[in-house]
Amino acid sequence: MKTFIFVFLSALLNLFLAGQVFAHDVNQHQIAAAMKKIFDKPEAPLSVPSISVEGDYAVAGWVQGERGGRAFLQKLNGHWIIKACAGSALTQGESIQSLGMDTSTLSGVRWPAAR
């Protein structure tokens, strides 16, 4: 019986983790698509090589031609909205907090590199 419970709980944990990975991938795809919809140009394609998502907030590193930086996004009504574009200022907690991210969420952010 203990083996069955262990196997059952392991299977549930794997399903939960797979769901988390899927949600993370969906958010990253939606963020890149939202940014490209606004900034992508045929002569200057936008690349979004790094995205860090924490809850309903994200910081995305972007590159377009010789330029690069970071964007701070928030998920509102199921859509990712760019709230600010900047450089290294978006790696500073005070800047992020001024845009609406609370301290507990801020502690989990991994800052994406900018070019």
pLDDT value of residue 98: 61
In this model, does residue 12 exceed pLDDT 80?
A: no
Core vs surface per residue 19-30: b (16+ CB within 10 A) or e: eeeeeeeebbeb
Mean pLDDT, all residues of the chain: 74
Neighbours of 90 (CB within 10 A): 22
Q: Is residue 111 part of a domain?
A: no
The stretch 39-44 carries a mean pLDDT of 93
- Residue 75 lies in domain: 2-106
Rounded CA-CA distance 15/83 in Å is: 33
Find the farthest-apart pair of alpha carbons in the chain and give their distance in angstroms, rounded: 63
Q: Is residue 42 part of a domain?
A: yes
- The number of distinct structural domains making up the chain is 1
In this model, does residue 11 exceed pLDDT 80?
A: no
